[in-house]
Chain A
Amino acid sequence: MDNAVSIKGLRKGYKGFTLDNVTFDVPRGYIMGLIGPNGAGKTTIVKLIMNLIRRDAGEVRVFGLDNLRHEAEIKSRIGFVYDVPRFPEDLRLKTIASALAVFYDKWDEARFQGLLEEFRLPPRQVFKKLSHGMKMKFSLALALAHDADLILMDEPTAGLDPVFRFELLNKLRALIQDERKTVLFSSHITTDLEKVADFVTFIHQGRIVFSAAKDEVLEHWGVVRAKSEGLRPEDVPGARGHRRTEHSLDVLTSDLAAARSRLGEQAVCDQASLEDIMFFISKGNARA
């Protein structure tokens, strides 16, 4: 499988936060979600891919090319959507678009017009008059109009209502009907990823917890719930974190099948959602 993005040993240190030894691949033709709580390092990774901040160590390859040496070529093939789109406030949408269009070889004006219509964006509107959701749509329309091979988005669904989130996710799914297109987006809204992602990379405190096909994650990870007395977290195969409630001891496991066969009689064993995984790893008593 060839990769649209390949990251090896990536490191970036800040005061009080270090992104360390981040390694994962984004296979071409698929949607990958970068998931993790706020402050986990998602935005840092996105910015490092775009070379908006300088990396301390490691390697980032986009379309097989080093992202520093081939920056211009790579960026012309990426559609980047910020969490909060920023464009000159007083310019009309069509003015912004025609200013940007010159930077892209593959700009498709007809397609752009079609997208404006589809997203119900008035071309003569000035940017600052748009709602957050419309700004997001405009940003996405720009990315799609230059026929980007990689759509890279940082928290695109944050602050959007469910109807538009649904619309956006469908647009992404439609995009990868073309198997040369790839989507990488970060989000802390796990249900969006559960719906649309083919692969999920989970990051916590600057480190990768796992990077795998979503189906596999949902198949293998589980939550075991047992009456508190008698069961210890370490009795659960594949335990990755736990919490105690008034009623039960809940343990996150990455080996649901083993947990089921050992504890199926005395405990409730359910599949874990991405939200469960995020919760237990970041808030429960996690074990690496």
Chain B
Amino acid sequence: MKIIISNSSPDPIYEQVTRQIKAQIINGGLREGESLPSIRRLAQDLQISVITTKRAYEELEKEGFIDTVEGKGSFVAIQNKELLREKKMKIVEEKMAAAVDEARLLGITRAELEEMLGLLYGEKV
């Protein structure tokens, strides 16, 4: 597991941690059942507060990404394949929404945007 904290990011640190762990679970960097470092260990490694890592793990647990077993630690949850796909779709959707917003600001038409998408996908338009 690799996490990099930015002190100049406007996002709270716990969010930076959850986002990066989620990404690694979704892209397979962290596998089902794999154990995560303890809350205290991670806090020490990242040089952040124990409260921060605790909150990050609680969020991940709430969203079903990890399971915590008392006395044993935290593990990447066994993922429901469909749920995982849905989560990934949602990420793509969010990114597309951002692209659409940006395009609207710049006055790029839907047709132009679709053409761009086609090119990016490697299709001939």
Task: List chain A positions with a Cβ less than 8 A from chain B.
Answer: 29-31, 170, 173-174, 176-177, 179, 195-199, 213-215, 219, 271
Contact = CB atoms under 8 A, between A and B. Distances in A.
B52 A215 contact: yes
A133 B82 CA distance: 58
B101 to A, nearest CB: 18
14 contacts: A31-B49, A170-B47, A174-B44, A177-B41, A177-B44, A179-B40, A198-B51, A199-B51, A213-B49, A214-B51, A215-B13, A215-B14, A215-B55, A219-B12
Interface in B10-52: 10, 12-14, 40-41, 43-44, 47, 49-52
Contacts of A271: 10
Contact of B51 (A30, A170, A177, A179): A30
Contacts of A173: 43-44, 47
Interface string B81-96: 0000000000000000
Interface residues on B, range: 10 to 19
A31 B40 CA distance: 12
Nearest to B44: A173
Contact of B12 (A176, A199, A215): A215
Contacts of B55: 215
A129 B43 CA distance: 37
A197 B49 contact: yes
B114 to A, nearest CB: 34
A198 B50 contact: yes
B67 to A, nearest CB: 20
Contacts of A213: 49, 51
A214 B44 contact: no
A176 B13 CA distance: 20
A221 to B, nearest CB: 13
B74 to A, nearest CB: 15
A179 B53 CA distance: 14
Nearest to B49: A198
A31 B47 CA distance: 13
B49 A215 contact: yes
Nearest to B41: A177
A271 B50 CA distance: 21
A30 to B, nearest CB: 6
Interface string B50-91: 111001000000000000000000000000000000000000
Contacts of A170: 44, 47
A214 B43 CA distance: 14
Contacts of A179: 40
Instruction: Across the A-B interface, give the 6 residue pairs with the lowest CB-CB distance, nearest first.
Output: A198-B49, A173-B44, A198-B51, A213-B51, A177-B40, A198-B50
Given A176-B40, A176-B50, A215-B49, 19 more contacts: A29-B50, A30-B51, A31-B50, A170-B47, A173-B44, A173-B47, A174-B44, A177-B40, A177-B41, A177-B44, A195-B47, A197-B49, A198-B49, A198-B50, A198-B51, A199-B51, A214-B49, A215-B51, A215-B55
